Amino acid sequence: MIFTIAIDGPAAAGKGTLAKALAAHYGLPHLDTGSLYRAVAVKVLAGGAPADAARALTPADLAAPNLRSPEVGAEASRVAAIPEVRAALLAFQQRFALQEGGAVLDGRDVGTVIAPDAPVKLFVTASDISRAERRLSEFKRAGVDTDFETVLRDMQDRDARDAARDAAPMLAADDAITIDTSELTAEEVLAVAIDLIDEIRG
């Protein structure tokens, strides 16, 4: 049986935290699809060509120490708009989604492109202010020197790029269930999602 849980949404809405928690709860493998584009971005920032970097990606690349830096995040949004990059990474993501037993994937086009037939599709979102506050806290814990206004502006710019790109734009699938996490704790979001998934599973 293949039971795929597809989770999409903008940066810092909590989709990654939810995806990891759901994977642990249901005993399923998890893939943060955004990490693939971040890994490509690291290679591009080092001078590589985007499509070549995507085709040559290895599991070791996903452990790059600067994978979560603001610069890499911004570049990841740019390389993700390149059709050749998306095509190079699509097959890997689809194989992961369709493995025996199922999987949990989070990103920006999981429910619309990678796993359009997934029985569970969630779109996790939050207000710009809430997301910027969360991302700023992450940066501070990582020792990144930035401020709220910069984080908010960068996040809004990235949202605009991700939503406007021709290749697999960020949007909720028609049959996705939206969860707004602005006023919810991670534990509350998980409880809501589990109730929804268990109802779908019957």
The pLDDT tens digits for 25-40 are 999 999 999 899 999 9
DSSP state of 164: H
Separation between Cα atoms, residue 58 and residue 46, nearest integer Å = 16
Joined together, the tokens standing for residue 117 give 């037939």
Separation between Cα atoms, residue 124 and residue 105, nearest integer Å = 13
Separation between Cα atoms, residue 152 and residue 182, nearest integer Å = 15
- Strand-pairing partners, residue 103, are 4
In contact, 65 and 85? CB cutoff 8 Å: no
Among 136, 132, 104, 109, which Cα is nearest to 17's? Answer: 104
- Amino acid identity for residue 95 in this structure: R
Residue labelled with tokens 């960068």: 154
- Pairing outcome for strands 120-125 and 103-107: unpaired
Separation between Cα atoms, residue 202 and residue 200, nearest integer Å = 5
Question: What is the pLDDT, as a whole number, of residue 111?
Answer: 96
For 21, 67, 143, 178, 195, the CA distances from 148, given in Å and listed in that order, are 28, 21, 14, 26, 34
In contact, 158 and 102? CB cutoff 8 Å: no
**pLDDT digit string (tens) for the chain, length 202 residues:** 789 999 999 989 999 999 999 999 999 999 999 899 999 999 999 999 999 999 999 888 988 999 989 899 889 989 988 999 999 999 889 989 999 999 999 999 999 999 999 999 999 999 999 999 999 999 999 898 999 999 999 999 988 888 887 777 888 999 999 999 999 999 999 999 999 999 998 8
**CB within 8 A of 153, min separation 6: which ones?**
none
- Strand-pairing partners, residue 123, are 8, 178
pLDDT in tens, 97-137: 999 999 999 999 999 999 999 999 999 999 999 999 999 99
Question: What is the pLDDT, as a whole number, of residue 31?
Answer: 94
Question: What is the pLDDT, as a whole number, of residue 182?
Answer: 97
DSSP state of 93: H
In contact, 10 and 159? CB cutoff 8 Å: yes
Strand order of the sheet with strand 4-8? 30-32, 103-107, 4-8, 120-125, 177-180
DSSP state of 121: E
